[in-house]
Structure 1
Amino acid sequence: MIYRLFSLFIISSWLYTPSAISQQDTLDQAIEKHRKGTITIQAPKGAEVHVKQLSHEFWFGAAIANGLGSGNMNPDDLEKYKAVFLENFNSAVTENALKWANMEPQKGQVNHETVEGILEWTEANGIPLRGHNLFWGIEKFVQPWVKELSDEELEATIKHRAISIAKKYRGRFAEYDLNNEMIHGNYYEDRLGPDITAKMAKWVLEGDPDANLFLNDYDILTGNRLSDYLTHIRDLLEQGVPIAGIGAQGHLHGSTFEREALQYSLDSLAQFGLPIMITEFNMPGQRSKFYKDTKLEMTPEEEAQMAEELVAYYRICFAHPSVEGILMWGFWEGANWIPASSLYTRDWHPRPAAKAYRELIFDTWWTEADHTMGEGGEWTVPAFYGTYQVTVDGESQEVILNKEKEKIKLTFSSLD
């Protein structure tokens, strides 16, 4: 593959490259550089200081099944689903609820109930939500009634959906996937011409001027369709399409993945200076035997491999400065298109991958520290970007440390 040849010669700008250190050390150094800032606390000598991270800035998220919004999930499972989600994830994406074919399988019969149910729950719990997706031009996913429309009717109907959905949910979705998987098929472009995506974007922004519109496609991070995607992005940018970010699906590998391909693909996508979201992650993925036969059970060795591969994938993505999040495409065997890729079994037992995931996110990449103030009354702690509670002798402040504000300084009232 071309990307493999290039990767032998190109040194990624975001990685340190001394050959004496391991790849893991290199990634850890990049994480320290790109995912951490500092919190400085001023307090009197002898004051007891506790710094506690509450959440990450980086999106560690998952898809939300329709059952949560519609209420059609078993009540016991629904209660557990919500609790386990909140224990593990800080962001979300609609799995199917917003898709046009799901919302309006019959012309004029639009189901907003499931979307509303998901939004109400995520908003109540402070979970930012991606809207997946407004349009999906793979022909087999286009409703029969849509195909029966004349070209004029089709364009008018697309315009109506774009404006009406954006207006109805204005300010409630953090971002949208505009027109899904266009390099693999685009029924709307085939019917209406190459400017239809730009029109879709324009109409969405009529309904919600602040909407963030993402692209989303697959087989990119393997390198197989990377070149096509880069060309596609350039073409849309040249048309003036207001792209807010790049979505790259993370489930086209097998039970393992090629590290070099993932790193090179992320570097290549970063050339546009746009945020990158890993939108649909499964391990094992769509090219594994577990996708072909969803009833297969893993051996203990395969369970261990799954945990190892998941950690390696997350580490590479978290180390890259252009990546803003990873969203699993299912976390529970009871609602996951690749059941073997779930963190939790059907009866809610955590698998080895769940334990590895939690250790990575809430231990290795988590900041919590105590300190007794000495002379000078100042202490600085390196901290992962996120929300913090800082307590000095029982007095607490909640603060946000992020990429835009890499350093913050707190002075407590006891100094006055």
Structure 2
Amino acid sequence: MLKGGLNVNVSGLAELYFESKNTSVEIWADSISLQPFTQDQWSSHQDQSIEKKKLSFPFGSAINKNILTNTAYQNWFTSRFTVTTFENEMKWYTNEPVPGQENYKDADALLQFAKQHSIAVRGHTVLWEDPNYIQGWVASLSPRDLAIAVDKRINSIMSKYKGQLIAWDVVNENLHSSFFESKLGQSASASFYNRAQRIDAATTLFLNEYNTIEDNRDDLSKPDNYLRKLREIRGFPGNNNLTLGIGLQGHFSNPPNLPYIRASIDILASASLPIWITELDVANNFGEQAQAEYLEQILRELHAHPKVSGIVLWSALAPGGCYRMCLTDDNFNNLATGNVVDKLRQEWGSNSSEGTTDTNGFFEASLFHGDYKVKISHPTMTSPFLAQSFKVVSTDHRSEQTTLLLKV
């Protein structure tokens, strides 16, 4: 059965044309059903799904080393997000620009910053298949020496950060590029996952790819091809018990096709693996308001899908701006995109609240189920605040909220 959606901007008669590149396949069309949706009807479906989401839904943004020396950036970021990815600081060309001279200084500092603020970190990326991002010294290696260098790279970064991350992007953009496979053989990428599992078996290993949900014209990374690649990885000797995840970048250069996004995730969900949106942004050539509107549409669609496990925005701020989508200006005043993020955070229940205890030291709040961090301050305390993390779970499956009584 084929399932999908179409965005049609005209009215009138239409013909549906089905084509397959497999000449041995017969295509039959039977019981075709076309259902038009207004924007309100489509959004109502999202709202119904959102009600089933937990408050602990991971929502974050990429950061880079610039945040380490910018207190205003730190305050803005840590008050909003629960997960992050380092923009370039864990990439091989950053960690080893010269053979044998490894440098994890910035990655170490960013990881320490994230830990201090209880922000989870995705490891990005162990290896990148795109030859445009391969160091010259790596590209010039013989196949034998390349295999040694790759094994050293995997062992170096994954052993260093073993058990400290929630995910590893083991191979980046392997559906579009195949530098290592062209040098080391067709099963090279699958072997990398085998090596990664032996080093850090407890952390989910992702295949990270673009245009799987962004652009239905890109045949290389369509959902079926993504699933085929996953089967190749799993089929490698010793990989049958891999802890795998599906990483979808989400770099939108065109107005979003919401039915295609939903249908693509439905197809990928058949693999029964966690699905993360890992690098979400919207191109800045639409104008500020349109960019924000598209971002909101995409975020609502993704958050509403029950199989999406987390979302990371690709909006790390640097002195020269952002990759394509900033959330604030240089003074950390929200742009239209930042306002979208804050609005949705509030709707989804991830905003913070403040309160004062009564004369007996009690504070009562009704909270949605999920992960929380409470900060307690008092004029007599020597430190700025006392922090304690906790999880609110349900004792009654009919209720999504629990009353918390805190004694200070």
For the aligned pair, the TM-score class normalised by the smaller chain equals 0.7 to 0.9
2:333 alignment partner in structure 1:
349
Distance 2:50 2:32 in 1: 20
What are the Cα deviations for residues 143-188 of structure 1, in whole angstroms up to 9, with x where unaligned? 1111222222211221122122211111111111001000111111
Q: Which residue of 2 aligns with 1:173?
A: 165
Match for residue 162 of structure 1? Answer: 154
- Contact 2:62/2:87 (8 A) holds in 1: yes
Alignment match, 1:124:
116
Deviation at 1:103, TM superposition (A): 0.8
1:183 to 2:175 alignment: yes
Query: SS state of the match for residue 131, structure 1?
Result: strand
Residue by residue over 1:308-367, the C-alpha shift from the partner in whole angstroms, topping out at 9 and shown as x without a partner, is: 22221111111111111111111547465445x211012322112212221111245458
Q: 2:391 aligns with which of 376, 400, 407?
A: 400
Distance in 2 of aligned mates of 1:183 and 1:348: 37
Alpha-carbon shift at residue 403 of structure 1 (Å): 9.8
Residue 24 of structure 1 and its aligned partner are, at CA, apart by 1.2
Task: Deviation per CA, 1:236-271: give whole Å up to 9, x if none.
Answer: 2233362521000111332x2111111111111111
Aligned residue pair count: 353
1:231 — aligned with what? 228
| 1:266-415 to 2 correspondences below 5 Å | 266-283=265-282, 285=283, 289=285, 302-332=287-317, 334=319, 336-339=321-324, 341-366=325-350, 383=368, 385-387=370-372, 399-401=390-392
Partner of 2:253: 253
CA distance in 1 between partners of 2:39 and 2:93 (Å): 53
How large is the RMSD of aligned CA atoms in angstroms? Answer: 3.7
Distance across 1 between alignment mates of 2:228 and 2:395: 30
2:368 aligned counterpart, secondary structure = strand
SS of the equivalent of 2:155 reads helix
On the 8 A contact 1:163/1:205 being kept in 2, the answer is: no
Letter paired with 1:400:
K
What is the alpha-carbon distance in structure 1 between the residues aligned to residue 189 and residue 264 of structure 2?
A: 24
CA–CA distance in structure 2, aligned partners of residues 3 and 289 of structure 1: 31
Distance 1:347 1:411 in 2: 37
* Residues 357-400 of structure 1: CA deviation (Å, up to 9, x unaligned): 21111245458899xxxxxxxxx9783544377xxxxxxx9742
Separation in structure 1 between the aligned mates of residue 395 and residue 150 of structure 2, nearest angstrom: 37
Q: 2:49 matched to 1:30?
A: yes
Letter in 2 for 1:135: L
Q: Distance in 2 between matches of 1:405 and 1:246?
A: 32
Q: SS of the residue aligned with 1:83?
A: helix
Q: CA deviation at 1:411?
A: 9.1
Bigger helix fraction: 1
Distance 1:28 1:335, change over 3 A: farther
Name the CA shift for 1:404/1:138 in 2 (closer, same or farther; >3 Å). Answer: farther
Structure 2 Cα separation of the partners of residues 268 and 384 of structure 1: 29
1:213 positional shift: 0.8
Seen in structure 2, the aligned counterparts of structure 1 residues 64 and 335 have a Cα distance that, compared at 3 Å, is farther
Of 215, 225, 229, which aligns to 2:207? 215
SS in 2 for 1:173: coil
Q: Please list every run of 5 or more consecutive structure 2 residues that lacks an aligned counterpart in the other structure.
A: 8-15, 17-30, 356-364, 375-387
Residue equivalent to 2:56? 57
Q: How does 1:99-138 map to 2 (within 5 A)?
A: 99-138=91-130
When residues 259 and 170 of structure 1 are mapped into structure 2, their CA distance, relative to the original with a 3 A threshold, is same
How far, CA to CA, are the matches of 2:402 and 2:393 in structure 1? 13
**TM-score, structure 1 as length reference:** 0.74
Are residues 67 and 259 of structure 1, via their aligned partners in 2, closer, same or farther at CA, if it must alter by over 3 Å? same
- The alpha carbon displacement at 1:6 in A equals 8.6
Relative contact order, higher structure (CA 8 A, sep 6+): 1
2:70 is equivalent to residue 86 of structure 1: no
The separation in 2 between residues aligned to 1:125 and 1:197, in whole angstroms, is 34
User: TM-score, normalising length from structure 2?
Assistant: 0.76
Percent of counterpart pairs with the same letter?
26
Q: Structure 1 residue 303: deviation in Å?
A: 2.8
The residue matched to 1:344 in structure 2 has which SS? Answer: coil
SS at match of 2:333: coil
Structure 1 residue corresponding to 2:188, chosen from 191, 196, 221: 196
Equivalent of 1:206 in 181, 190, 198: 198
